[in-house]
Structure 1
Amino acid sequence: MAIKTIHHVCIQTEKYEESLDFYTNILGFKVVQETKDFHKRDYNTWLKLDDFMIELQTPKEGDKFSKWSKLSAGPVHMGFLVDNVKAEYKRIKDLGYKDFKIKNGEIVYEVEGDYLFKIKAPEGTEIEIRDTDIA
């Protein structure tokens, strides 16, 4: 196979400052490069966490984004692996972040014997946090 690894995911946002704060201060990504006035966009910013990158973009001048829906085709959520899902939930909650998905009345819930939780980024991306690897 010619593909070596996933390089990045591009996320578009109309809430640039909130999204940038979420990915850096809540999830721990580092800003690699922030470019203002990028091809008719206010910002195009590269964020990195270990070997994974997010390209965070604002809309092109005059464009309006459609809102995210779980009924859209294509990616539904991004998943991140942590050492301890309950400790990670507490860490994020203690930082003051509140946009957690509730399933059956629970934030941290069980799926096939493993625990996980989901949070919603300011631009609408659903983020899954789990501590059990599939492979």
Structure 2
Amino acid sequence: MNLSYIHHVAIIASDYEKSRHFYTELLEFPIINEVYRKERESYKCDFKVGESQIELFSFPSPPKRPNQPEAAGLRHLCFGVTDIEQTVSDLKKKGIRCEEIRSDPYTGKSYTFFKDPDGLPLEVYER
């Protein structure tokens, strides 16, 4: 088996336009492709994140996530950064509230969390 990298993470937004703006304008992820899937009444937008991607979906009235695969939510998504202080400063300048920077007790690396428009937890972790 050759599972060598994560290709993408999929997120279902409750407000597609708000989430699209957050990921493209505030986090500055470039759009790879965006389509409207009429048969599912669903938008799908792919963003480039380093060598990986985020797939952002819309669905009419997605249920809150107890455990269905087509519901809004994820545990958290973590982005590696080289300078966490600068990243947090950049996020705050864009009106994104971050938790205090903490230190991983096992690696000594710094990390913190912030949230997307649906309240999904996003993490930045200093490499």
TM-score by shorter chain over 0.5: yes
TM-score, normalisation: structure 2: 0.80
The number of equivalent residue pairs is: 119
- Give the structure 1 partner of residue 70 of structure 2: none
Q: What does the per-residue CA deviation read over 1:30-72, in whole Å, with 9 as the maximum and x for residues that have no partner?
A: 111111244323311111122110111001x4x432058xxxx
Runs of 4+ in 1 over 3 A off after TM superposition: none
1:1-135 superposed matches below 5 A: 1-59=1-59, 61=60, 63-66=61-64, 76-98=75-97, 100=98, 102=99, 107-112=100-105, 113-132=108-127
* Unmatched tracts of structure 1, length 5 or more: 69-73
The 8 Å contact of residues 10 and 54 in structure 2, kept in 1 or not, is answered as yes
TM-score, normalisation: structure 1: 0.76
Q: Percent identity of the aligned residues?
A: 26
Shift of 1:75: 5.0
RMSD of aligned Cα (Å): 2.2
Structure 2: distance between partners of 1:50 and 1:114:
20
Structure 2: distance between partners of 1:6 and 1:39:
28
| Partner SS for 1:116 | strand
* Unmatched tracts of structure 2, length 5 or more: 67-72
The 8 Å contact of residues 11 and 74 in structure 2, kept in 1 or not, is answered as no
